[in-house]
A and B are shown apart, each in its own frame.
Chain A
Amino acid sequence: MTPVPPSASHLTSRHKTNWSEMWRSVLRLSGRWRFVLGIAGALFVWTAAFSPWASFAFGYPGKMTLSGFPGGARVYLLPLLLLVSLLFFTLPVGATAGVRAALGLLFIAGYNFIAISWEGDGVDAVAWGAWIALLGSLLLLWAFASFLWEEADGRSLSGQTAGHTAVKLPDPIWQMLLVFGGVPALLICFVYALDVEESSRFVSLICCLGAGSAALSSLGFFNWTSELLARQRTFAVILLLIAALVFPFTQDGNGYWLRVLISVGVFASAAIGLNIVVGLTGLLDLGYIAFFGIGAYVSALLSDADFTTVHVRVPFLLVLLIGATVAGLVGIFVGAPTLRLRGDYLAIVTLGFGEIFRITMNNWNGLTRGPNGIAGISDLEIPSLFGSTPLNFGDAHEVFGVSLPNFANYYFLCIFLFIGMAILFSRLGNSRIGRAWMAIREDEIAASSMGVNPVRFKLLSFALGASMAGAAGTVSAHVTQQVSPDSFTFMESILLLAAVVLGGMGTIPGALLGAGVFYLLPEKLRAFQDVRMLMFGAALIIMMRYRPEGLIPNRRRKAEFREEKSRFSAGFLKGTGELDLMQQNPVQEGGT
């Protein structure tokens, strides 16, 4: 995972300054005008939130033809507007945050404008409310941007927190109270967001949340929260766990979102395994889903499914172990010859291996029933803790007077799976082994000169990652109740990898968030199903440009990306020009 060569980023930044200077000279505002335009913009947006956005009723969600109340997507303007109004008092420090919040307003207005004219067959469908929402958010953007230009021109960027400066936290008791209040709030927001059905409202909500967090992030809010969570880690983790366990009780016996969250949980667990391989050890594995598939097939074959070729039923915990072991052994088999090589060979080999696995499963009719797959995998049965009858995962249960659908069983199982993976990851990562992995990632030659056997530790990482995927696969087979080769395509490997990179390499919350984005969002954005991959691609490109370290980065990885420039000027890779044959770092050219 080599970072972008610096030469490219230098070039683009030079271009950018030229462009923005041109814009600035045209759009520069004097002090008074900025406030006038800003306040006018805020008033416009405020009015727009209560004005009709659609000129006639045609089924656009949220009663957009009515005036006097902020229905539909209009309501999401209000939190951002509140934020923007507060930011006026923090100027010029809050200029960046203001720009981001104003962009959020612009996105909400713009998206709904386009959607209304699209669904209403033309711009005639758009009423004046949407027009002034656009106008108002543009004015706000202009006003805040002009503050930003002024700062860039001369004054120091006082409010920008570059790197992490010292963070002030309240007393421990207040810290705990904040966490104690924050976690349920998070759960309520989450349940609320799942309840937002129409995609236009959901997109607006995402714009609102995204722009809001981007704005708060520029004010150092997330530095502060991460510091807070680091201090109160155990407490926060326990509360989050409780929140996760409480979630099924909010669903009124409906299993739909549980079903979705199960797949998020399964893939997040697999993503943690991939995080060991990619995030800690720095090996690029493009066929990771194959190991997941091995676990799934092992589980399918050993649970006496309706359409199976092997008629045995092995207890699930044993199946979990067998699946993990088989996947790990295959990992060793694939890795042993390849991990001796450096660089991109592993990526190519794993890419090939993933395809070999899929095609083998597709053609091995005697064992895997080929493209038909193995269907009718029975529900899990594990010995019950409370009675003599085993607990069947296919049954719905009544707990505390709330009926839980049968998927809640698998949901709880997934939580345990995820916790297990997370413990595995964090304990191995914070040990001699984890340090050896990171050392290999950072500089394999230096690591081996310090006594780390690179092949052995790369193999260990690869096999462990593979067996974690295998374990996740065994659970997944029971959840989906069938396995077939077409669930293990190359695209699935890429999605998992993208989830790890998007979430933030080397972190557990990052893996969870990444899996959430790639397996939960598509369910909410069904209207965009055809362009799903296009959107993911665009999102990744934007991420790599503006936040290469991922959404929830490892603290030090963040520093790595942020300080890349200074690292080059500090002469970190200062070569003296003398023959050094083991030089493998491709960044030298760009650095000088």
Chain B
Amino acid sequence: MKSVDSDFSPSSLSGLAGNFPPRVLLRASGLTVRFGGLLALDAVDFEVREGEIVGLIGPNGAGKTTFFNCLTGLVMPDEGEVRYKGQLLVLRPYKVAEAGLARTFQNIRLFPNMTPLENVLVGRHCHTKEGVWSALWRGKRFREAEASARMAAAEFLDFVGLVPDEDLSAHSLSYGDQRRLEIARALACEPGVLLLDEPTAGMNPRETQAMLELVQRIRDRGVAVVVIEHDMRFIFSLCDRIVVLDSGCKLSEGTSVEVRKDPRVIEAYLGISPE
């Protein structure tokens, strides 16, 4: 993959006048994952550009979550590579997070017995440096770092619309709040790309609408978003670009209109028409 950096060139950075597309943030190429005999991902190419919201859809078992797990280092790909801002990613979860990819999980994975604020503070982990000695000594630097981390965490909570409560642990939040807390925690990593795995699962229409607005606000902060979702209305009204996966292969890619008209997509979801 020699040409990987072509989009990440000075031309795109100085391209104020031209109609250059925004530069590519994340590019996965040829990602292949096998679970024994099952080909969970088959040479999937994928890219996310700056400021984009990309939808990732597909029938159950298509490999969407595996794809996320692969990007974030929870599953090692058998082939292929992932580059973030042109740099090859070391596919270990914490390295990926340090580089600038944060994610949420399909079945919420908060730290259930920590307060919402502490949950978000763990998200600040990469952006704080205090070690053992600093924590023991409690000097000025430690206190300042701790205070600023708390402030930042409170801001992220506020951003998703949660109020920090010291007496509450995360697992006593409502389901929708837990989803939002997970997003706040991921945002606290200050990622360039945020990966959301079914953010509206189990939500009612009003909560879904709020989630839609939240994702748009996240994009407005300059964070590119990739979202897996089964709610087509949500996907079609939110995403700039949609990628369809089926049985581990990339089936189709394009705007919502293009994807909706693609006969292969219709076939994958509804089966072949008898005619």
Binding site for B on A (CB under 8 A): 164, 423-424, 427-428, 431-436, 438-439, 442-443, 445-454, 460, 464, 556-557, 559-560, 563, 566-567, 570-576, 578-583
Contacts and interface: CB of A to CB of B under 8 A. Distances in A.
Interface of A is mostly: helix
Contact of A449 (B103, B124, B136, B198): B103
B113 A557 contact: yes
Contacts of A575: 107
Contacts of A431: 130, 134-135, 142, 146
Contacts of A581: 35, 66, 69, 74-75
Contacts of A427: 135-136, 138
Contact of B149 (A432, A439, A446): A432
Given A445-B74, A450-B123, A581-B35, A428 B136 contact: yes
Interface residues of B, number: 59
7 tightest A-B CB contacts, nearest first = A431-B135, A442-B111, A451-B97, A448-B93, A451-B126, A446-B109, A439-B122
A453 B126 CA distance: 10
A438 B114 contact: yes
Interface string B234-262: 00000000000000000000000000000
Contacts of B112: 442-443, 560, 567, 572
Given A439-B125, A574-B175, 8 more contacts: A438-B113, A439-B111, A445-B74, A447-B122, A452-B122, A570-B172, A572-B178, A578-B60
Contacts of B124: 432
Interface in B156-201: 167, 169, 171-172, 174-175, 178, 185-186, 189, 198, 201
A6 to B, nearest CB: 14
A423 B135 CA distance: 11
B20 interface: no
A449 B132 CA distance: 22
A589 to B, nearest CB: 14
Contact of A556 (B74, B96, B113, B185): B113
Nearest to A439: B122
Given A432-B128, A433-B132, A576 B201 contact: yes
A563 B167 CA distance: 14
Contact of B114 (A164, A556, A578): A556
A410 B146 CA distance: 37
B208 interface: no
B204 to A, nearest CB: 14
19 contacts: A424-B136, A432-B121, A432-B124, A432-B149, A435-B125, A439-B122, A445-B74, A446-B111, A447-B111, A447-B122, A450-B186, A464-B132, A556-B169, A560-B171, A571-B202, A576-B106, A579-B65, A580-B65, A582-B69
B1 to A, nearest CB: 25
A451 B109 CA distance: 14
B115 interface: yes
B167 to A, nearest CB: 7
Contact of B110 (A443, A578, A580): A443
Interface string B111-154: 11111001001111110101110111010001000100100000
Given A433-B132, A579-B65, A563 B172 contact: yes
Nearest to B195: A449
B114 A435 contact: yes
Contacts of A570: 171-172, 174-175
B113 A559 contact: yes
B222 interface: no
B75 A438 contact: no
Contacts of B35: 581
Contacts of A432: 121, 124-125, 128, 130, 135, 146, 149
Nearest to B128: A432
A423 B138 CA distance: 11
Nearest to B123: A450
B8 to A, nearest CB: 23
Nearest to A577: B60
